[in-house]
Amino acid sequence: MIMREEYDLKKLKVKRRGLLPKLKDEKGKPVKVRIMISLDQDIVEYFKQSADGVGS
């Protein structure tokens, strides 16, 4: 597959909007889902420093 320099996003088809049907309980209310992400150490340090800053 070759990358184009530009893509026409108006032709993009959206398959679904909102929560997936399986992410709702029996009553139709959204269910919380636990996810896990991996971050590089420099990203973690940046946000630690940002949290220690003035106004945080």
Percentage of residues in the chain with pLDDT exceeding 70?
Answer: 88
> Rounded to 5 degrees, what angle do the CA atoms 41, 46, 52 make?
125
pTM beyond 0.75, yes or no? no
Q: Count of CB atoms within 10 A of residue 3's CB?
A: 5
pLDDT in tens, the chain (56 residues): 788 888 888 887 777 666 666 777 888 888 888 889 999 999 999 999 989 877 76
Q: What gap in Å lies between CA 22 and CA 31, rounded to an integer? A: 9
Cβ distance 50 to 56 under 8 Å?
A: yes
Query: Taking the domains of the chain in order of start, what are their residue ranges?
Result: 20-56
